[in-house]
């Protein structure tokens, strides 16, 4: 191997060489194997150059050893990793690839055919993941400063298309260290990944925290409730992290087992030291039912793609239902009233976050980046009150952001797509409260004369153009949309109509 790398996460792996890093569909892999594979793959990405110098590498790979090794290879070659969502249709993949300016694409054997036409049309270099990781030898790799850009994750904002959130290696290290300290990660931990790897929850909170700590990350190719329960019952896991929707599905699967199986599954949860919920508000009834089943009071926390995690209920101590806890180590949080003074605890005010984990910029969006900050504080758009030192979220300051199943989606983006439907004249997309999904995507539409539109038909049409979780699951047909005197659609009234 080459000299000890300067990337913090990669550098730490050398101390755990013989330990198991990743268990996935391809097998079991030590940290030494991960270091070796990523080093050889990095040489292939470089293709004789000295340094990718921040060029973007976008990859469409299911959760696997190949996914982690490709991400590390990109970093070690001096590039910026752009993980793509395996469930996204072509238009969304094209947006991330084009917006990030990715020059190299990598796909696993099952998914690479979805990248082939994009690579051909844009004259991009396309590499199969298995060939990338089978590179015969490693060459010299560049020195990569911790302040270099490392990762672009796409997240929806108040604009109609997802924005790329750029974080550096230093930002990632700060986010990891905060969670490792707060949740007491160690090399003795083992975690089951059931989350997608184009989202900060899976990338940072699960995989990166595990590999920073010398722990083992077991990767399911996709979430399956019965398979997850069977793995928990198999023993050896110490942590589990998921979104509220997953916990709801696990509850339903547990309730579908016979009495003897339920007792065994509940007992197996006792071996797990920590279970975490995030990415969407956790309904209190879900928390209560999960506690009845597993004996665990889920630790709820709060974060965003732009900042990593900011608030968390305690590892030790009371975890308050409906609350997301206190600031994590290294994170500063404030709320200001309309006059710019610190807001009283009981006054609803927007959360502002500052710290070494806060992202650098929205990729190629300087105006939106500038608008997202105020004197060094990131403006989250989330409104909260403080109850005896613990923060309680009240919702978004923008009605155009919907949090569904752990994903944050833009109503404006969905509306833009719906307007292309031949039967739709006008539309308004809103989020409706839902115990399982957090919010359900709902569309109110005005149809062309003599046209009809069924929900199933609309969902099928949408899934060819949008990620499935963005497709409306509620549909309401109106003669006209409610508007204010300025002609703007009044979305609270749309919600009321539903």
Q: Which band of pLDDT confidence, cut at 50, 70 and 90, is reported for residue 156? A: low
Dihedral in degrees, nearest 10, Cα atoms 45, 49, 54, 57: -20
Residue-wise pLDDT tens digits, 398-419: 777 788 998 878 887 898 899 8
CB atoms within 10 A of CB 244: 27
pLDDT reported for residue 284: 86
Contacts of residues 112-120 at CB distance under 8 Å and 24 or more positions apart, as own/partner, are 112/60, 114/60, 114/90, 115/60, 117/90, 118/90, 118/93, 118/94
Please list the residues that pair with 299 across neighbouring strands. 276
Rounded average pLDDT over 232-251: 95
Q: What would the mean pLDDT of 435-460 be, rounded to a whole number?
A: 94
Reduce the DSSP state of residue 172 to 3 states and report it: helix
20-48 pLDDT, tens digit per residue, is 999 999 999 999 999 999 999 999 999 99
Nearest-5° Cα angle at 377, 374 to 381: 85
The residues, any chain, with a CB within 8 Å of residue 146's CB and separated by 6 or more, are 6, 7, 8, 168, 169, 170, 173
| Dihedral over Cα of 240, 244, 246, 248: its sign | positive
Nearest to 162 by CA among 260, 54, 53, 85: 85
d(CA 209, CA 220): 17
Phi, psi of 425, deg, nearest 5: -95, -50
pLDDT at 1: 43
Average pLDDT, the chain: 93
What integer is the mean pLDDT of 41-58? 96
Phi, psi (degrees; rounded to nearest 5) at 357: -90, -5
Quick check: 338 pLDDT over 90?
no
Query: Three-state SS for 414?
Result: helix
Res. 2 pLDDT band, cuts 50 70 90? very low
At residue 144 the predicted structure's pLDDT band, cuts being 50, 70 and 90, is: very high
CB atoms within 10 A of CB 233: 16
Q: How far is the C-alpha of 203 from the C-alpha of 279, rounded, in Å?
A: 13
What contacts 265, CB < 8 A, 6 or more positions away? 229, 232, 233, 254, 257, 293
The confidence band for 326, taking pLDDT boundaries of 50, 70 and 90, is: very high
What pLDDT shows up at residue 487?
60
**Which tokens hold the place of 140?**
């010299």
Q: How many CB atoms lie within 10 A of CB 471?
A: 21
Q: Is beta strand 299-304 parallel, antiparallel or unpaired with respect to 274-277? A: parallel
pLDDT of residue 98: 98
- pLDDT value at position 409? 84
Structure token digits, residue 62: 């299911």
- Asked whether 162 and 95 are in contact (CB, 8 A), the reply is yes
pLDDT for residue 408: 77
Identify the band that residue 143 occupies on the pLDDT scale cut at 50, 70 and 90.
very high
Q: Which domains does the chain have, with CATH numbers?
A: 8-144 (3.40.50.980), 401-497 (3.30.300.30)
- pLDDT at residue number 290: 98
| Residue 377 pLDDT | 97
Q: What's residue 146's pLDDT?
A: 94
Element (H, E) at 90: helix 90-100
Residue 279 predicted with pLDDT over 60: yes
For the chain, counts of helices (H) and of strands (E): 17, 26
Q: Is the pLDDT of residue 222 over 80?
A: yes
Percent of the chain with pLDDT over 70: 97
- Percent of the chain residues past pLDDT 90, beyond the cut: 82
- pLDDT mean over 370-379: 96
> Is pLDDT of 397 > 90?
no
Whole-number Å distance between alpha carbons of 192 and 201? 13
- Segment 477-489 shows an average pLDDT of 79
Inform me whether the pLDDT recorded for 486 exceeds 60: no
CA pair distance 151, 326, nearest whole angstrom: 27
């Amino acid at each position: 191997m080459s000299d000890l790398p300067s990337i913090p996460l990669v550098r730490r792996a050398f101390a755990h060489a013989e330990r198991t890093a990743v268990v996935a569909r391809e097998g079991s892999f030590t940290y030494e194997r991960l270091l070796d594979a990523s080093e050889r793959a990095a040489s292939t990405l470089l293709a004789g150059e000295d340094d990718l110098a921040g060029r973007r590498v976008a990859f469409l790979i299911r959760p696997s050893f190949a996914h982690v090794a490709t991400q590390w290879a990109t970093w070690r070659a001096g590039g910026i990793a752009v993980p793509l969502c395996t469930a996204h249709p072509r238009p969304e993949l094209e947006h991330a690839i084009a917006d990030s300016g990715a020059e190299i694409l990598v796909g696993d054997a099952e998914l690479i055919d979805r990248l082939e036409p994009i690579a051909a049309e844009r004259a991009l270099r396309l590499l199969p993941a298995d060939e990338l990781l089978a590179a015969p030898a490693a060459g010299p790799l560049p020195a990569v400063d911790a302040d270099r850009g490392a990762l672009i994750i796409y997240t929806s904002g108040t604009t109609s298309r997802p924005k790329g959130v750029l974080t550096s290696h230093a930002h990632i290290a700060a986010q990891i260290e905060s969670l490792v300290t707060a949740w007491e990660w160690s090399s003795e931990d083992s975690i089951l990944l059931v989350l997608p790897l184009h989202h900060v929850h899976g990338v940072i909170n699960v995989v990166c925290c595990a590999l920073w700590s010398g722990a083992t990350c077991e990767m399911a190719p996709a979430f399956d409730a019965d398979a997850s329960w069977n793995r928990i019952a198999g023993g050896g896991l110490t942590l589990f992290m998921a979104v509220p929707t997953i916990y709801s599905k696990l509850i339903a699967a547990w309730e579908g087992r016979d009495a003897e199986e339920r007792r065994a599954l509940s007992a197996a949860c006792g071996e797990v030291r920590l279970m975490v919920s995030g990415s969407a508000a956790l309904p209190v009834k879900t928390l209560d039912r999960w506690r009845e089943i597993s004996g665990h009071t889920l630790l709820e926390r709060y974060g965003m793609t732009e900042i990593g995690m900011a608030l968390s209920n305690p590892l030790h101590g009371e975890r308050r239902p409906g609350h997301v806890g206190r600031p994590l180590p290294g994170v500063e949080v404030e709320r200001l009233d309309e006059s710019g003074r610190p807001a009283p605890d009981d006054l609803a005010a927007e959360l502002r976050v500052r710290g070494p984990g806060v992202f650098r910029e929205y990729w190629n969006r300087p105006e939106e980046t500038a608008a997202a900050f105020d004197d060094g504080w990131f403006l989250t758009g989330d409104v909260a009150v403080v109850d005896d030192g613990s923060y309680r979220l009240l919702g978004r300051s923008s009605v155009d952001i919907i949090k569904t199943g752990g994903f944050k989606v833009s109503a404006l983006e969905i509306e833009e797509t719906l307007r292309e439907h031949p039967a739709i004249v006008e539309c308004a997309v809103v989020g409706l409260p839902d115990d399982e999904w957090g919010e359900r995507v709902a569309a109110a539409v005005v149809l062309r004369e003599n046209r009809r539109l069924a929900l199933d038909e609309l969902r099928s049409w949408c899934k060819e153009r949008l990620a499935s979780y963005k497709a409306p699951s509620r549909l309401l047909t109106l003669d006209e949309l409610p508007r204010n005197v300025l002609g703007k659609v009044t979305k609270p009234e749309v919600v009321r109509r539903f």
